[in-house]
Copies of this chain bind each other. A is one copy, B any other.
């Protein structure tokens, strides 16, 4: 879409999103000019063509997509916009790619506050800057009042995979160390405690963060890392199960090693939720040959995102496709994939 010269003031005076803002006419352009372009601009997006034209460095290309429907859209530690940038950045990074370019597709409910929209756009721009990616193409649709809940954002991303790196959930081998980058359950419990009707008076904040910088440093020292996953929906339990099944191996973890913040643990206990099933948005599960584990751990701990990184277990020859945890009491418990999730719209 080409931005025409600004129209006279009347159409700029709205305080909320109108259906016509998504109709491809003058009001669409006004929305771009007033809310998006001041914060997100680069040589690609500024052209406002139907597609960005990009020169990619050589290598395999990673391509990913996620829609974000988190509720509330502002939560302790982040916004739906930051989540949308960081989540897609992380999905590229865990594939061994350097995240380069993102798209952003907005679906907005008629009547949504333009000021809130701008706040979200600013948070996306800031998150993109931090992660070193550019938002190069976008789309905005507006649906009628009651036809969506405030705002949904899709981000897709492309990156280029480092040469010599082969990360896959099918790569785990017996003896591998399983590293977790930090405390579990922060994002999910931040969302849960900020939902209407659930007041814990706690200060649980989301761990929403881009992991691409830390992952790049990890691959610098250990390009042979076997697998990485960000344990989002379904939590660490789902991620470990996927790794175990994909590689046809068993995973044994120790409950006492898994870091959980006291306030997250308290909230989980109160609600009867297993912290291992709770979504994270700035954490990493890594499978790496035991010989490389110490070095990878050291690098992770040098980053804020990996300060609390710890080896939580290892890949074993027993129980292929299953995750077994030695509990704090010394007993063994199967960590199953959750059926669903206790909390919808977590991301």
Report whether B144 and A26 are in contact in the complex, using a CB–CB cutoff of 8 Å.
no
Q: Chain B's nearest CB lies how many Å from the CB of A250?
A: 14
Report whether B69 and A141 are in contact in the complex, using a CB–CB cutoff of 8 Å.
yes
Asked if A197 lies at the interface with its beta carbon under 8 angstroms from chain B, I say no
Q: Using CB atoms, name the residue of chain B closest to A142.
A: B344
Asked if A124 lies at the interface with its beta carbon under 8 angstroms from chain B, I say no
- Bound-complex Cα distance A312 to B2 (A): 21
Asked if A297 lies at the interface with its beta carbon under 8 angstroms from chain B, I say no
Considering only residues 145-179 of chain A, those with a C-beta below 8 Å from chain B are 146-149, 152, 154, 156, 158-159, 161, 168-169
* Stretch of A97-105, A114-122, A198-206, A257-265 that contacts chain B: A97-105
Report whether A23 and B344 are in contact in the complex, using a CB–CB cutoff of 8 Å.
yes
Contact code string A83-126 (vs B, CB < 8 Å = 1, else 0): 00000000110110100010111110000000000000000000
Please give, as numbers and ranges, the residues of chain B lying within 8 Å of A270 by CB-CB distance. none
Q: Chain B's nearest CB lies how many Å from the CB of A229?
A: 7
Considering only residues 4-37 of chain A, those with a C-beta below 8 Å from chain B are 4-5, 11, 18-29
Report whether B25 and A238 are in contact in the complex, using a CB–CB cutoff of 8 Å.
yes
Asked if A292 lies at the interface with its beta carbon under 8 angstroms from chain B, I say no
Report whether A107 and B26 are in contact in the complex, using a CB–CB cutoff of 8 Å.
no
Q: How would you classify the secondary structure of chain A's contact residues: helix, strand, loop or mixed? A: mixed
Please give, as numbers and ranges, the residues of chain B lying within 8 Å of A341 by CB-CB distance. 19-20, 23-25
Contact of A56 among B56, B69, B104, B234 (CB under 8 A): B56
Asked if A269 lies at the interface with its beta carbon under 8 angstroms from chain B, I say no
Asked if A271 lies at the interface with its beta carbon under 8 angstroms from chain B, I say no
Report whether A345 and B148 are in contact in the complex, using a CB–CB cutoff of 8 Å.
no
Q: Using CB atoms, name the residue of chain B closest to A90.
A: B50
Contact of A95 among B53, B143, B144, B149 (CB under 8 A): B53
- Bound-complex Cα distance A60 to B279 (A): 37
Nearest 9 CB-CB pairings of A with B: A20-B340, A24-B233, A23-B341, A65-B103, A156-B156, A24-B234, A154-B154, A51-B64, A25-B338
Given contacts A69-B141, A143-B344, 16 further A-B contacts (CB under 8 A): A2-B245, A4-B242, A5-B321, A23-B233, A23-B234, A24-B338, A25-B341, A26-B338, A52-B64, A55-B61, A63-B101, A65-B154, A69-B148, A141-B152, A143-B149, A148-B148
Chain A: residues with CB nearer than 8 A to chain B? Answer: 1-2, 4-5, 11, 18-29, 47, 49-56, 60-69, 71, 91-92, 94-95, 97, 101, 103-107, 136-139, 141-144, 146-149, 152, 154, 156, 158-159, 161, 168-169, 229-230, 232-234, 238, 241-243, 245-246, 279, 321, 337-341, 344-346
